[in-house]
């Protein structure tokens, strides 16, 4: 029967499917019923089973025992035919096929709506999951970019110049140190090797926790801070460069070592100058940048000559002019014989002069200039002596000439600029015009020649060197030179400023200077050579192309801050995504990574961040509060014996005990403002300010005694606060300061209030009245009522907060003891200070008074 029931269920489902799909009326249904009958016949034919199994034999024996013939029963079952009726197919409550189809249609509609809702919910859940996964991936990448140590890079490849031309000398050796050596790149090792428990004991050195360059940089930072504390000079750039000396940069040819070497050369000339001497420092920085580019060009010439020894014909032990001649033999080989090798050869005088100036060979340039036509036909004495002018230009720091020589050079430059036919006839007329533009500082003429000859600056280095030679740190009055004749010079009046060069370079994206982002450090070199120090740090700290150099960005900022060259002007603050870079926040964010593993190293970076943020006591206090509260390494960082004691890492950065106490007091105030009362008390005590610590303890005790009166679990807290308050009183000694005495008196009153409230809670009214006698601000005699009411505003705030509870406890004890007069005085006192007593509390007092009167 179970088999028949299953077959019936299957048949019913099949018939429902057939009826559902029908759209015609009853004739179609009859046809479907015929199909159902055919299906039943097929089902009956499949129900025939062989009776050869053991189960069939067992069933036959069982039926024989009951007196039934198994064979006849099997035949009866085989001939059984299922004929469903109309009521079997359709529900009884449906009278017609149309009603049945309407019910089916409604059921299908509801089912479709439910499925659509489920699909919408599932799609929404999938969308939210994908959004959360995307946001998590972005946050993870941002976290890794901000805290992970980053790889370095290899030798400077001159980038494209503003005209888009690439350097023909793609991998020049360094002028002093030669080719770069490979170094260790970050391979995904965590910045912090592990966490160690904090406490008073010193933790392991940061070099044991860091990897590769991060550990070396940390060592340099410690040495730099130690030298600053001892008042000694420290060459931070050289040490940072040494930390990168043995690291590679993968497939990139530009390394951080090259960046450090460029920075060292730029800062070298300004090392001994005071930060206040802004003009002199700017000139020294410009001279350092020009010197680096000149030495790099000399190295390039040496490389070209070494690669073409036979053609260069340099010979043995050549001088600097010989190197220029050998270089031109290679570069100008297509022009044939040159004038310095064969009389009547191609005139290379101006090419040699410009090449000597580009390499920094000023005396050689003056020597070559003696063979020019201008030198042989002098006008107005020294004004037309090109050799003397070249020497004066070089000895004057490559600044434009002034006076009569400057006026003469400006006029000659304007004449050459107008004479286009002469520039077309002579092969090196562009070099001649550029030399005159350099000597008179005429940037307009230089731009005109460069526009006419786009290949004049083949590399960004050549372009930067020329522009840096034109830069003037201060404008010189033309009238002070030679009267009215200087007004037409153009170069003397229209001075080319450093900001003009920086704005020009910022017109192009960083990818223009860095091979489409493949060599990001090339752009950093360009920024450093153009004295855009803050922009260089911002690029390394923010740009996606420089994500491998976040670690270097932090320490580059530290080095520049140490050298005091971070100009806060907008011209130096760009280049980092349009937002000014906060160097102090950058250093602070990096130092925060060591809070839990190495508080000592974190302190090193925090103090550098404080100096970058202004170095005020308030700033130091804010950063030190975060360090102490997060790391909990009070003993290790502060030492023992108070602010004037020895020991503690903070003493190295703030050696003056008075200043150290002021810093700790500022930290304590920060903690108190942030509701970190435990830390504030400890720091006030450590800084030798027990009164401020006792003020906090009094307020905490005032809150604790109220809760301890109803909860025995808070009794231990009251005892702890009282003992710490006693220690603060002991630290004050025999003070006579009114403010100290006020805090001591408040502590004594709060002790009595705590005992009084505890006695009230346990019903000990005698003890409560005893403690009431110790509270002089609560009158129990009528003659003291007015005096106490007028002096209630002078109560300590911590004591005044408990005044309602004290009056209720006093009234309860007096009512229980039947002391009517004293109770009336207390109630009258409460009425006199109604601004401090709630209406509900005053009603309770009146009820107690009424109960005693009755």
- Residue 511 tokens, joined: 């990818």
The pLDDT of 179-184, averaged and rounded, is: 26
Q: Which of 813, 815, 739 has its CA nearest to residue 775? A: 813
CA dist 258 and 256 (Å) reads 5
- Residue 36 tokens, joined: 């159902």
Contact by Cβ (8 Å): 530, 464 = yes
- Residue 414 tokens, joined: 């304007």
The pLDDT of 109-116, averaged and rounded, is: 84
The pLDDT of 620-633, averaged and rounded, is: 83
Those residues whose C-beta lies under 8 Å from the C-beta of residue 458, and which sit 6 or more positions away, are 161, 165, 166, 167, 168
Indicate whether 466 pLDDT > 90: yes
Indicate whether 195 pLDDT > 70: no
- Tell me how far CA of residue 647 lies from CA of 201, 571, 653, 814, in angstroms: 12, 44, 12, 57
Higher pLDDT, 481 or 169: 481
Phi and psi (nearest 5°) for 846? -65, -35
CA dist 682 and 665 (Å) reads 10
pLDDT in tens, 274-306: 666 777 888 889 999 999 999 999 999 999 998
Confidence of residue 496 (pLDDT cuts 50, 70, 90): confident
> What is the overall mean pLDDT for the chain?
78
CA dist 668 and 651 (Å) reads 17
Q: H-type helices in 47-96, by residue range?
A: 54-65, 70-78, 86-89
Q: Which of 264, 268, 224, 275 has its CA nearest to residue 566? A: 275
Q: H-type helices in 94-194, by residue range?
A: 97-147
Confidence of residue 579 (pLDDT cuts 50, 70, 90): low
Residue-level pLDDT at 163: 38
Exposure pattern of 773-790 as b/e (b: 16+ CB <10 Å)?
eebebbbbeeeebeebbe
Q: Which of 288, 275, 277 has its CA nearest to residue 563? A: 275
Helix axes 583-591, 599-612, angle to 10 degrees: 170
CA dist 676 and 669 (Å) reads 10
DSSP 3-state of 471: strand
Contact by Cβ (8 Å): 536, 528 = yes
Contact by Cβ (8 Å): 825, 780 = yes
Residue-level pLDDT at 493: 46
Those residues whose C-beta lies under 8 Å from the C-beta of residue 223, and which sit 6 or more positions away, are 234, 239
CA dist 307 and 304 (Å) reads 5
pLDDT in tens, 201-258: 333 344 446 888 899 999 999 999 988 888 888 899 999 999 888 777 666 778 899 9
- Residue 276 tokens, joined: 């206040």
- Tell me how far CA of residue 28 lies from CA of 15, 19, 24, 213, in angstroms: 13, 9, 6, 86
- Residue 744 tokens, joined: 């001591």
CA dist 603 and 594 (Å) reads 9
CA dist 57 and 436 (Å) reads 124
10 Å CB burial of residue 331 (0-12, 13-18, 19+) is: middle
Exposure pattern of 168-187 as b/e (b: 16+ CB <10 Å)?
ebebbbbbeeeebeebebbe
Q: Which residue has the tokens 């004929």?
A: 83
- Tell me how far CA of residue 770 lies from CA of 208, 606, 782, 787, in angstroms: 64, 55, 19, 22
pLDDT in tens, 667-714: 888 888 888 888 888 888 888 889 999 999 999 999 888 888 776 666
CA dist 828 and 785 (Å) reads 8
C-alpha 799: how far from chain center: 46
Contact by Cβ (8 Å): 214, 193 = no
DSSP 3-state of 308: coil
Residue-level pLDDT at 222: 92
Those residues whose C-beta lies under 8 Å from the C-beta of residue 470, and which sit 6 or more positions away, are 400, 437, 438, 441, 443, 446, 496
Q: Which of 584, 610, 410 has its CA nearest to residue 493? A: 410
pLDDT in tens, 339-350: 888 887 888 889
Residue-level pLDDT at 657: 81
Phi and psi (nearest 5°) for 33? -65, -35
Contact by Cβ (8 Å): 378, 363 = no
Residue-level pLDDT at 527: 95
Cα angle 702-704-706, degrees, rounded to a multiple of 5 = 80
The pLDDT of 33-52, averaged and rounded, is: 64
CA dist 825 and 811 (Å) reads 10
Indicate whether 535 pLDDT > 90: yes
Those residues whose C-beta lies under 8 Å from the C-beta of residue 161, and which sit 6 or more positions away, are 457, 458, 459, 460, 462, 463
CA dist 740 and 309 (Å) reads 88
Q: Which of 290, 259, 255 has its CA nearest to residue 557? A: 259
Contact by Cβ (8 Å): 567, 583 = no
Q: H-type helices in 332-459, by residue range?
A: 349-359, 362-369, 373-376, 386-395, 403-418, 420-425, 429-440, 443-452
Indicate whether 436 pLDDT > 70: yes
The pLDDT of 497-516, averaged and rounded, is: 89
Cα angle 637-643-648, degrees, rounded to a multiple of 5 = 25
Residue-level pLDDT at 387: 87
Higher pLDDT, 764 or 149: 764
SS (H, E, C) 247-264: ECCCCCCCEHHHHHHHHH
pLDDT in tens, 159-169: 434 333 333 33
Contact by Cβ (8 Å): 108, 20 = yes
Indicate whether 830 pLDDT > 80: yes
DSSP 3-state of 724: helix
């Amino acid at each position: 029967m179970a088999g028949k029931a299953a077959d019936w269920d299957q048949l019913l489902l099949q018939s429902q499917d057939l009826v559902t799909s029908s759209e015609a009326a009853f004739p179609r249904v009859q046809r479907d019923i015929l199909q159902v009958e055919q299906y039943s016949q097929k089902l009956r034919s499949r129900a025939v089973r062989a009776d050869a199994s053991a189960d069939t034999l067992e069933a036959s024996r069982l039926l024989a025992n009951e007196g039934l013939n198994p064979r006849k029963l099997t035949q009866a079952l085989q001939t059984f035919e299922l004929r469903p009726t109309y009521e079997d197919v359709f529900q009884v409550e449906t009278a017609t096929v149309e009603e049945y189809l309407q019910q089916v249609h409604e059921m299908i509609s509801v089912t479709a709506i439910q499925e659509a809702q489920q699909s919408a919910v599932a799609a929404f859940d999938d969308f939210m999951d994908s959004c959360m996964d995307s946001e998590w991936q972005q946050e993870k990448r941002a976290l890794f970019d901000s805290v992970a140590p980053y790889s370095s890079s290899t030798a400077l490849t001159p980038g494209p110049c503003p005209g888009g031309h690439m350097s023909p000398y793609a991998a020049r050796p360094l002028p002093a140190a030669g080719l770069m050596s490979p170094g260790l790149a970050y391979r995904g090792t965590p910045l912090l090797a592990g966490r160690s428990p904090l406490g008073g004991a010193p933790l392991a050195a940061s070099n044991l926790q860091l990897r590769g360059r991060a550990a070396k940089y940390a060592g340099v930072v410690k040495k730099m801070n130690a030298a600053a504390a001892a008042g000694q000079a420290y060459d931070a750039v050289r040490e940072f460069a040494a930390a990168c000396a043995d690291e590679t940069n993968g497939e990139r040819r530009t390394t951080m070592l090259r960046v450090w070497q460029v920075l060292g050369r730029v800062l070298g000339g300004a090392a001994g100058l005071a930060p206040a001497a802004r003009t002199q420092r700017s000139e020294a920085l410009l001279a350092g940048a020009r010197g680096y580019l000149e030495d790099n060009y000399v190295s390039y010439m040496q490389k070209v000559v070494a690669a073409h020894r036979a053609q260069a014909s340099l010979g043995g032990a050549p001088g600097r002019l010989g190197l220029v001649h050998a270089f031109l033999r290679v570069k100008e080989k297509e022009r044939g014989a040159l004038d310095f090798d064969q009389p009547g050869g191609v005139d290379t005088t101006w090419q040699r002069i410009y090449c000597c100036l580009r390499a920094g060979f000023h005396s050689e340039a003056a020597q070559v200039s003696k063979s020019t036509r201008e030198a042989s036909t002098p006008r107005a004495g020294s004004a037309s002596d090109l050799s003397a002018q070249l020497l004066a230009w070089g000895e004057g720091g490559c600044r434009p000439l002034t006076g009569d020589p400057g006026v003469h050079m400006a006029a000659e430059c304007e004449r050459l600029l107008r004479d286009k036919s002469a520039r077309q006839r002579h092969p090196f007329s562009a070099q001649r015009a550029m030399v005159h533009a350099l000597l008179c500082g005429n940037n307009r003429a230089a731009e005109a020649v460069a526009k006419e000859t786009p290949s004049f600056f083949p590399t960004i280095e050549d372009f930067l060197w020329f522009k840096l030679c034109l830069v003037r740190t201060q404008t010189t009055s033309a009238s002070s030179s030679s009267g009215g004749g200087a007004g037409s010079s153009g170069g003397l009046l229209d001075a080319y400023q450093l900001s003009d060069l920086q704005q020009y370079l910022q017109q192009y994206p960083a990818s223009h200077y860095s091979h489409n982002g493949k060599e990001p450090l090339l752009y950093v070199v360009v920024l450093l050579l153009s004295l855009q120090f803050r922009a260089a740090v911002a690029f390394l700290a923010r740009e996606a192309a420089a994500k491998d150099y976040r670690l270097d960005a932090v320490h580059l900022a530290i080095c520049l801050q140490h050298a005091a060259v971070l100009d806060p002007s907008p011209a130096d603050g760009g280049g980092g995504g349009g937002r000014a870079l906060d160097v102090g926040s950058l250093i602070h964010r990096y130092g925060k990574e060591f809070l839990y593993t190495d508080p000592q190293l974190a302190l090193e970076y925090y103090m550098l961040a404080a100096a970058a943020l202004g170095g005020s006591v308030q700033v130091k206090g804010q950063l030190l509060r975060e360090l102490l509260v997060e790391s909990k390494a009070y003993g290790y960082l502060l030492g023992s014996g108070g602010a004037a004691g020895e020991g503690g890492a903070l003493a190295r950065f703030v050696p003056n005990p008075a200043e150290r106490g002021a810093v700790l007091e500022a930290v304590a105030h920060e903690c108190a403002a942030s509701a970190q009362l435990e830390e504030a008390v400890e720091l006030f005590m450590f800084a030798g300010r027990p009164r401020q610590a006792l003020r906090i303890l009094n307020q905490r005790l005032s809150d604790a005694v109220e809760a301890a009166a109803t909860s025995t679990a808070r009794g231990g807290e009251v005892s702890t606060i009282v003992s710490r308050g006693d220690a603060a009183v002991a630290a004050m000694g025999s003070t006579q300061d009114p403010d100290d005495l006020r805090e001591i008196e408040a502590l004594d009153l709060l002790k009595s209030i705590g005992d009084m409230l505890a006695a009230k809670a346990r019903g000990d009214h005698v003890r409560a009245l005893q403690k009431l006698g110790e509270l002089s601000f609560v009158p129990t005699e009528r003659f003291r009522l007015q005096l106490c009411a007028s002096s209630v505003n002078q109560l300590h705030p911590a004591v005044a907060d408990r005044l309602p509870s004290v009056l209720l406890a006093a009234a309860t004890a007096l009512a229980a003891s039947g002391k009517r007069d004293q109770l009336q005085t207390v109630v009258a006192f409460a009425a006199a200070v109604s601004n401090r007593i709630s209406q509900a509390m005053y009603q309770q007092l009146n009820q107690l008074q009424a109960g005693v009167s009755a």
